[in-house]
Amino acid sequence: PVPRPAQAPAAPARDAATPAPGRRWPVALDVAVGAGAAAVSFAGSWVPSLWTDEAATIGAARRSVADLGRLLLEIDAVHGLYYALMHLWIGAFGSSAVSVRLPSALAVGVAAVGVLHLARRLTSDPGTAVLAAAVFALLPRVTWTGVEARPSAAATAVAVWCTVLLLAALRGRRPLLWFAYGACGAVGVAVNIYLALLLAGHGVSLLLRRTTSWRDRGAWACAAAGALLVSAPVVVLAQRQSGQLGERAFGWLDLLTGAVVSQWFLGETPTATSGAALDTGSVVGTWWRPAAVALAALCWLLVLRGLVPGREDRAVSTERAVWLLPWIVLPTALVGVYALLVGPLYNPRYFAFAAPAVAIAVAAGLARLRGRVRWAAAVAALVLVVPVYVSQREAHAKSGADWAQAAAHLCARATAGDAVYFGPRRPPTDGVATLTTRGVAVAYPACFRDLVDLTLVRSPVQAADLTGTSRSLADALEEGGRPSTIWVLRRPGDVVAPGDDALLASAGYERRSTWRGPLDEVVEFSRR
């Protein structure tokens, strides 16, 4: 009899999170994806005026290390690590709008490369992975964070790479990878305290995965606990500093609008404080509003298509849903319920770190469409993105902020020795105002360097806060003499010190000129 050839042993089952065998990513592709995403975010970053939140970054990062430490012990500890990094950056490259926004654009590029690698593991298709990176780079929340001098972009980059490290640790089972995951998680929570919810989402994913052993779940628990332990000082300080998390109280309709549209498919809105959309005369006008709603509707349909398991790729699609759904849903659900039942804790911009998961789900949904339907959906999404993207790069895109124009007006007309009065934005208490329009001088200091701050009592650095303290205009006129020209920079929509104009008139001043922007006005008063 002819002997049968020996059968080759069966290949071990491959984890669904492990990419199919093949060549590694070329480094050139990583560079191209990262550079392209960074360029998309950086384009037009010099156009929008700096605004309140970015002035806080600049004001904090310009301080000495000791003064920055004093600030963080009193306020804004949640952004301490970011301020420390920006302190080094501003020391090297200055604090212009382009300079302070560039790190966010670079962080978007780093995050896009992470999306590329993560999507390859969750889709088993290199083409879909590249598509996911492109979708990520064009998501309105991402293009907003890339032009914002705040920690959202950095937190997003940390979130995606933290997830990549977790999948690598599950595949490689090396202690060093678990240590790297824990370290990445600690940095993430220090940059954005809400990233603790991402770690919780990872835990839910591991419980849902049937292929994960309890040994690996225990390794994750140790790494996550270590991350939370290392970042605990930031969490404790943030809890003591009331008002640092969340803003105003939200109703359920506000929360629904924020979670469905603003969180990932709009970014922030180019509106004035009244809530009215600013029509700047551009080609998009106010088209960004319906475009954002339509984009959200289309993308949520694609997310559903990308996460519902299909017959042809059930193992891969199930694995993808197990990893992405907790990332997308859990943080928003927990914070939203808390905001509705307990108190303010929700802000759409805090959840930018989930944009990578949304992008991968959208790309997977597009990839599962066929023929003309796929192309029609892709073209429709691209068309809807354009007006939102353009609106984010208008001069007044930052919630109607017009500081750049107000500062330019003063630069052109004021002379050295003139006085400037920053109007209070809240009613003064016992003749002392803590919140004024002085932020414009923090954002654009060159135009105020030779002017006299008429009502300043303690600078923000001296007060160890972000606003400083001011006395009343009446006290300033009595105690500080009467300069020949006073420039009043105020926000008419806010509470303005009553009788300021009448007080100046009685002191011998008359109005010479007025400049008005969407939010602020600059009024020139000269002595008769």
DSSP secondary structure string for all residues of 316-382:
HHHHHHHHHHHHHHHHHHHHHHHHHHT-----GGGGGGGHHHHHHHHHHHHHTS-HHHHHHHHHHHH
Alpha helices in 96-248 (DSSP H): 97-123, 126-138, 140-145, 152-172, 175-191, 196-208, 214-230, 232-240
Residue 25 has a pLDDT of 67
Q: Sheet of 509-516: strands edge to edge?
A: 452-453, 419-422, 485-490, 521-527, 509-516
Per DSSP, the residues of 262-319 read: IHHHT-S--B-TTSPBP--SSSSTTTHHHHHHHHHHHHHHHHHHHHS--STTHHHHHH
Q: Token digits for 213? A: 């052993």
CA–CA separation, 323 and 345 (whole Å) = 25
Using DSSP's 3-state secondary structure scheme, residue 514 falls into strand
Cβ within 8 Å of residue 170, ≥6 positions away: 15, 17, 212, 216
Angle between helices 126-138 and 27-42 (to 10 degrees): 20
SS3 category, 153: helix
CA distance 471 to 453: 11
Tens-level pLDDT at each residue, the chain (528 residues):
555 555 544 444 444 444 444 456 688 999 999 999 999 999 999 999 999 999 999 999 999 999 999 999 988 888 999 999 999 999 999 999 999 999 999 999 999 999 999 999 998 889 999 999 999 999 999 999 999 999 999 999 999 999 999 999 998 878 899 999 999 999 999 999 999 999 999 999 999 998 899 999 999 999 999 999 999 998 888 877 755 555 556 678 888 888 999 999 998 877 765 555 555 555 556 788 899 999 999 999 999 999 987 766 788 889 999 999 999 999 999 999 988 888 778 889 999 999 999 999 999 999 999 889 999 999 999 999 999 999 999 998 998 899 999 999 999 999 999 999 999 988 888 888 888 999 999 999 999 999 999 999 999 999 999 989 999 898 898 886 688 999 999 988 776 666 888 899 999 999 999 999 888 999 999 998
Sheet strands (E) in 360-499: 419-422, 432-433, 452-453, 456-458, 469-471, 485-490
Is 274 within 8 Å of 493 (Cβ atoms)? yes
d(CA 491, CA 502): 17
DSSP conformation class of 213: -
Residue 10 pLDDT:
43
Token pair of 467 as six digits: 């606003």
CA distance 109 to 37: 5
Contact of 148 with 344, CB cutoff 8 Å: no
Residue 1, pLDDT score: 53
Rg of the chain (C-alpha set) = 26
Q: Amino acid identity, residue 329?
A: V
Q: Is beta strand 509-516 parallel, antiparallel or unpaired with respect to 521-527?
A: antiparallel
Nearest Cα to Cα of residue 392 among 295, 284, 276, 296 = 284
For helices 80-93 and 175-191, angle between their N-to-C axes, nearest 10 degrees: 80
Q: Which residues pair with residue 422 across a beta bridge?
A: 489
Residue 520's CB: how many other CB atoms inside 10 A?
23
CA distance 447 to 495: 25
Residue 110: how many other CB atoms lie within 10 Å: 18
Distances in whole angstroms, Cα of residue 379 to Cα of each of 101, 333, 390, 403, 468: 29, 31, 17, 36, 50
Contact 424, 435 (CB under 8 A): yes
CA separation for the pair 415, 334 (Å, rounded): 54
φ, ψ dihedrals at 514, nearest 5°:
-140, 130
Q: What integer pLDDT is reported at residue 37 of this predicted model?
A: 98
End-to-end CA distance of the chain: 122
Distance CA 154, CA 80 (A): 13
> What was the pLDDT predicted at 284?
59
User: Which residue bears the tokens 């509705």?
Assistant: 340
Please tell me the distance from the alpha carbon of residue 205 to that of residue 327, in angstroms, as a whole number. Answer: 9
Q: How far is CA 412 from CA 405, 408, 409, 416, 510, in A?
A: 11, 6, 5, 12, 20
**Three-state secondary structure call for residue 490:** strand
Look up residue 76 and give its two tokens. 């804004």
Amino acid (1-letter code) at residue 74:
E
Q: What is the pLDDT at residue 24? A: 63
DSSP 464: T
pLDDT at residue 125, rounded to an integer = 87
Q: How far apart are CA 345 and CA 358, in angstroms?
A: 22
